[in-house]
Amino acid sequence: MRIVMRPARAEEAGALSELALRSKAHWGYHERFLDACRADLTLRPEEIDDRRTVVAEAAGRLVGFYTLDGVPPEGELGNLWIEPSWLRRGVGRRLWQHAVRTAREHGFRSVSIGADPNAEGFYLNMGAVRVGETPSTAIPGRFLPRLRFRLPAT
């Protein structure tokens, strides 16, 4: 099936927030944990453009998205979520590659990632390196892998 990458629209903020929660829930987190993460995973319509939000769409259906935050030269991959039924079908890699191109176009030299522990392997496979840990903003006492990807020189 053909996957199209396009800028997200403000009116999709709610659908993208719910997609992020479904994707997080895929890893077996309990409901209280997901409720604690809800605010961090919520996109607001007014944030869509400023956060450089891009969606992956297949047959008119949202199957994933990412946000690229920050001011060059240092960026932050704020989100990269995939609809659970689309996991392991290349959507994550396509989103990642698009995010890297977008980062380069905007003058970023590196992108930091505060990853869910279940996603750390994906980012390592994409060429990011672990640089430490970062405290979770949603769960006190929880630490997340902190990774960095240096954009290759063109």
Q: CB of 27 within 8 A of CB of 144?
A: no
CATH of the domain at 24: 3.40.630.30
Over residues 59-79, the pLDDT tens digits come to: 999 999 999 999 999 999 999
Mean pLDDT on 79-92 = 96
**pTM for this entry:** 0.95
Count of beta carbons in the 10 Å neighbourhood of residue 133? 12
Place of tokens 């400023």: 50
Range of the domain at 65: 3-150
Instruction: Write down the pLDDT at residue 153.
Output: 78
The alpha carbon dihedral of 48, 49, 51, 56 has a sign of positive
